[in-house]
Structure 1
Amino acid sequence: MTSNRPIDASRRDFLNSAVGVGFALAVQPIAASAIITDGAGLSAGAVEIPTGPAIMPGYAAKPAAASGPLPVVLVVQEIFGVHEHIRDLCRRLAKAGYLAVAPELYFRQGDPSKVASISELVSGLVSKVPDSQVLADLDATLAWAGGNGGDAKRAAITGFCWGGRQVWLYAAHNPRIKAGVAWYGRLQGEPSANTPRQPLDIVAQLHAPVLGLYGGLDKGIPLESVDKMKAALRVAGKPSEIVVYPEADHGFNADYRPSYNAAAANDGWQRMLQWFKQHGA
């Protein structure tokens, strides 16, 4: 898949490198449960997404035989960037009939695929990424999708871990989004210059219904914060929903990691697809 202009071989090599061929170093070794979705029947690959004066690398996938504009899903990365797991999720969504696009949202700050430890990744790169930058880059990604085979009027967003938090924020930012699905995204925390608001702070501003998928064994996102979010959604009268899988830990959809819980992941995936269709995406 290409953007509006052709990408020559050297530029394509650069883009493929930028979105992380293979899995990020910080997640090695890869579990035997890792799922690899083939590209049969798909148009998939590196793309260029204009965002202000910069070109943001990304990965997109869609059905190759699509005859008209497709519903769009913005796929927001884990802290590890657009590595093979995120690319694979795009291909899975494409096989379900979507144009799925994952922008490399750290591209201004560095390459997460080359960082060897999670602690170094968080302190040296992720903490430097402002929410305002992410929201603007997601706006640019949606605009790109609308000009490259996608129907921006039928757009949804999903994200995982770091990206799960961004789903909540984006659903309060862009009224064009029809639905969001947040996989184990953090709900509360101390404000900072780069992260001034948390999902619990913006419940009243949600434009789109969000389905939150959480693990009951997740020590990083305690059930207390999940219960607070449920209560806040009820008070605000927002048509969002939260599902907790009692036996699942954080990262339960990450099939390449020991935290993978196949039952919860499969159920969550089907709920996500149903949620998108239910809300017009």
Structure 2
Amino acid sequence: MNPNPEFDSLVPAQSFDRRSFLVTSLGAGFALAVQPVMAQTAIRTDDSGLLAGEIKVPVKDGEMVAYRALPKGASKAPVVLVVSEIFGVHEYIKDTCRRLAKAGYCAIAPELFARQGDPRGIDSIPEILAKIVYKTPDAQVMSDLDACVAWAASKGADTNRLAITGFCWGGRISWLYSAHNPQLKAAAAWYGRLVGGASEITPKQPMDLVGQLMAPVLGLYGGLDTGIPLETVESMEKALKQGSAAAKVSEIHVYDNAPHAFHADYRPSYRKEEAEDGWQRMLAWFRKSGV
């Protein structure tokens, strides 16, 4: 999440046409900026019974690396796009894909920062934000997510049953994608920023798009999140009631005693009870929406 949205206006626009992908492989392990990992709580989901690993997704300016997991032998599996935090597609996001695959989904996590740089190899969060995140245009991200849907359809997955989920930066993107793709059936946004300044890179925020949501969103937020003021969450709840048909049936659940990143089982912010409850709410939300 960008704690200083006014910074966005200082970032020059990126060309969507360049063909130099700075990240062409995902590697292994957790991002440097999240070390040391809380080994006692980090969840490790095996890939038994799954087809899991790196893929290359064709996009308009080349190939984007992504992680994909689905049940072996699955026929027409529903699709869930998984959008990372600012740390990119590291082990936590891969594990999240495997968890979704165990639930019967084809889960795809694209490295959406691939043109701007590799956040996994940077040990400073401010550096990740300044050099990579703040320079990644929303329009580019929407296009890349569309490319993942097209790739999944080409491989026989059921993109008529399409959902998205994301964490922190990816939570905001999940809101935005719900106003972008009419094919989407459901979204689950984990503690994504709702308000902020407009710029060429980030022209709209979730609060600006409640009238354009095409899929219902489940928002999962922490009452102790110091980066996302509770009043902005409450304002979003009120705005949804005046929004599109999909907005009106969207829901936000606040865990009063949870901080930001309470689902991130590899970090001190992890809250087991809230994370597990949120996961079950998400799966139920997807099923309710026909995904």
Please classify the TM superposition score into its range, dividing by the shorter chain length: over 0.9
Q: Which residue of 2 aligns with 1:270?
A: 280
Q: Which residue of 2 aligns with 1:50?
A: 58
* Aligned counterparts of 2:281 and 2:288: Cα–Cα separation in 1: 10
* Aligned counterparts of 1:222 and 1:149: Cα–Cα separation in 2: 42
Contact 2:24 2:64 in 1 (8 A): no
Q: Which residue of 1 aligns with 2:169?
A: 162
Q: 2:76 aligns with which of 61, 69, 75?
A: 69
Q: 2:47 aligns with which of 16, 33, 39?
A: 39
Contact 2:92 2:266 in 1 (8 A): yes
* Letter of the structure 1 residue corresponding to residue 153 of structure 2: G
TM-superposed deviation, 1:148: 1.6
Q: 1:29 aligns with which of 17, 30, 36?
A: 36
Q: What is the 5 A alignment of 1:35-184?
A: 35-66=43-74, 68-184=75-191
* Letter of the structure 2 residue corresponding to residue 52 of structure 1: K
TM-superposed deviation, 1:104: 0.4
> Once the two structures are superposed, what CA deviation does each residue of 1:90-113 show, in whole Å capped at 9, x if it has no partner?
000000000000000000111111
TM-superposed deviation, 1:16: 10
Q: 2:259 aligns with which of 242, 246, 249?
A: 249
Contact 2:116 2:131 in 1 (8 A): no
Contact 1:20 1:82 in 2 (8 A): no
Query: How high is the TM-score relative to the length of structure 2?
Result: 0.90
TM-superposed deviation, 1:65: 2.8
* Aligned counterparts of 1:181 and 1:89: Cα–Cα separation in 2: 13
SS in 1 for 2:63: strand
* Aligned counterparts of 1:107 and 1:244: Cα–Cα separation in 2: 32
* Aligned counterparts of 2:265 and 2:92: Cα–Cα separation in 1: 8
SS in 2 for 1:214: strand
TM-superposed deviation, 1:20: 3.8
* Aligned counterparts of 2:42 and 2:99: Cα–Cα separation in 1: 14
> Once the two structures are superposed, what CA deviation does each residue of 1:139-160 show, in whole Å capped at 9, x if it has no partner?
0011111112310100000000
TM-superposed deviation, 1:18: 2.2
SS in 2 for 1:193: coil
Contact 2:23 2:115 in 1 (8 A): no
Contact 1:16 1:46 in 2 (8 A): no
> Once the two structures are superposed, what CA deviation does each residue of 1:58-102 show, in whole Å capped at 9, x if it has no partner?
000000131x11000000011000000000000000000000000
* Aligned counterparts of 1:47 and 1:79: Cα–Cα separation in 2: 20
* Aligned counterparts of 2:23 and 2:133: Cα–Cα separation in 1: 21
Q: What is the 5 A alignment of 1:177-256?
A: 177-236=184-243, 238-256=248-266
SS in 2 for 1:218: coil
SS in 1 for 2:218: strand
* Aligned counterparts of 2:206 and 2:24: Cα–Cα separation in 1: 32
Q: Which residue of 1 aligns with 2:18?
A: none
SS in 1 for 2:151: helix
SS in 2 for 1:157: strand
Query: How high is the TM-score relative to the length of structure 1?
Result: 0.93
* Aligned counterparts of 1:196 and 1:38: Cα–Cα separation in 2: 39
* Aligned counterparts of 1:187 and 1:161: Cα–Cα separation in 2: 10
- Where structure 1 has 5 or more consecutive residues not aligned to the other structure, the ranges are 1-14
> Once the two structures are superposed, what CA deviation does each residue of 1:157-205 show, in whole Å capped at 9, x if it has no partner?
0000000000000000000000000000000011121001100000000
Contact 2:24 2:114 in 1 (8 A): no
* Aligned counterparts of 2:23 and 2:154: Cα–Cα separation in 1: 21
* Letter of the structure 2 residue corresponding to residue 235 of structure 1: Q
TM-superposed deviation, 1:21: 1.0
Q: Alpha carbon RMSD of aligned pairs, Å?
A: 1.4
